[in-house]
């Protein structure tokens, strides 16, 4: 049975690394649901978080394949119960209807979001949360006039003292 799994890993900060990783997923016929990448404390290292749709055997295979790649420093499948996993979403709502604007502000506030920009006929809101919470927010504001959406992929950290760190390869 196919589920969503979150895999986090550290890679060398070099050109072509992300291409090689995405190509490995393509060769193994796994779809990447979301991907985020960004620098960490050491500028020579990038942390990548990927959400992949697979079965348990498939995600184990992905982790093993990533671990064999030269530019991958460390890789770990994250336990959702032991991790904080979040996604950011920017939503542009276009409406001149005062009721719709008020309703949008209420929904943003109810989702612990922020209004980042207000113009005469539109506003831009920011919401962060688990992927399902972001999906639910989008569904609630659709009737109010969603013009554009931009979402990050999932980013995650393990709770407590657990961490993804450079190990000996």
Residue 110: per-residue pLDDT: 96
Q: Among all chains, which residue has been given the structure tokens 């960490």?
A: 40
Across 9-34, b (16+ Cβ under 10 Å) vs e yields bbbeeeeebeeebeebbeeeebebeb
Residue 163 lies in a domain: no
Residue 169 lies in a domain: no
Domain-terminating residue out of 28, 44, 78: 78
**Distance separating alpha carbons of residues 12 and 158, to the nearest angstrom:** 21
Average pLDDT over residues 34-39: 94
**Distance separating alpha carbons of residues 133 and 88, to the nearest angstrom:** 11
Residue 166 lies in a domain: no
Q: Higher model confidence: residue 44 or residue 167?
A: 44
Beta carbons of 104 and 83 less than 8 angstroms apart: no
- Same domain? For 95 and 56 the reply is no
**Distance separating alpha carbons of residues 90 and 34, to the nearest angstrom:** 16
pLDDT, tens digit (0-9, with 9 covering 90-100), for 75-97: 999 999 999 999 999 999 998 89
Q: What is the CATH number of the domain that holds 109?
A: 3.30.70.1150
- Same domain? For 95 and 113 the reply is yes
**Distance separating alpha carbons of residues 141 and 136, to the nearest angstrom:** 9
Residue 160 lies in a domain: no
Question: Which domain covers residue 105, as residue numbers?
Answer: 84-155
Average pLDDT over residues 33-54: 93
**Distance separating alpha carbons of residues 44 and 98, to the nearest angstrom:** 50
Residue 167: per-residue pLDDT: 64
- Same domain? For 106 and 133 the reply is yes
- Same domain? For 28 and 46 the reply is yes
- Same domain? For 64 and 97 the reply is no
Give me the number of domains the chain comprises.
2
Q: Of 65, 33, 64, 26, nearest to 49 (Cα)?
A: 33
Q: What is the CATH number of the domain that holds 69?
A: 3.30.70.260
- Same domain? For 146 and 96 the reply is yes
**Distance separating alpha carbons of residues 97 and 119, to the nearest angstrom:** 13
In DSSP terms, which residues pair with 114 in a beta bridge?
126
Residue 41 lies in a domain: yes
Residue 161 lies in a domain: no
- Same domain? For 69 and 122 the reply is no
- Same domain? For 13 and 73 the reply is yes
- Same domain? For 54 and 9 the reply is yes
């Amino acid at each position: 049975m196919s589920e969503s799994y979150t895999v986090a890993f550290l890679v060398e900060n070099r050109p072509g690394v992300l291409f090689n990783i995405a190509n490995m997923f393509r060769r193994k016929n796994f779809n990447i649901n979301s991907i985020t990448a960004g620098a960490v404390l050491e500028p020579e290292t990038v942390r990548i978080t990927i959400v992949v749709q697979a079965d348990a055997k498939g995600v184990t295979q992905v982790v093993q394949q990533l671990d064999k790649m030269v530019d991958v420093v460390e890789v770990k499948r994250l336990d959702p119960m032991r991790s904080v996993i979040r996604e950011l979403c920017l939503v542009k709502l276009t409406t001149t209807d005062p009721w719709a604007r008020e309703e949008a502000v209420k929904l943003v506030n109810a989702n612990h979001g922020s209004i980042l920009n207000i113009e005469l006929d539109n506003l831009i809101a920011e919401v962060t949360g688990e992927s399902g919470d972001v999906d639910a927010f989008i569904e609630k504001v659709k009737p109010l006039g969603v013009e554009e959406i931009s979402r990050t992929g999932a980013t995650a950290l393990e709770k407590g003292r657990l961490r993804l760190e450079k190990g000996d390869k």
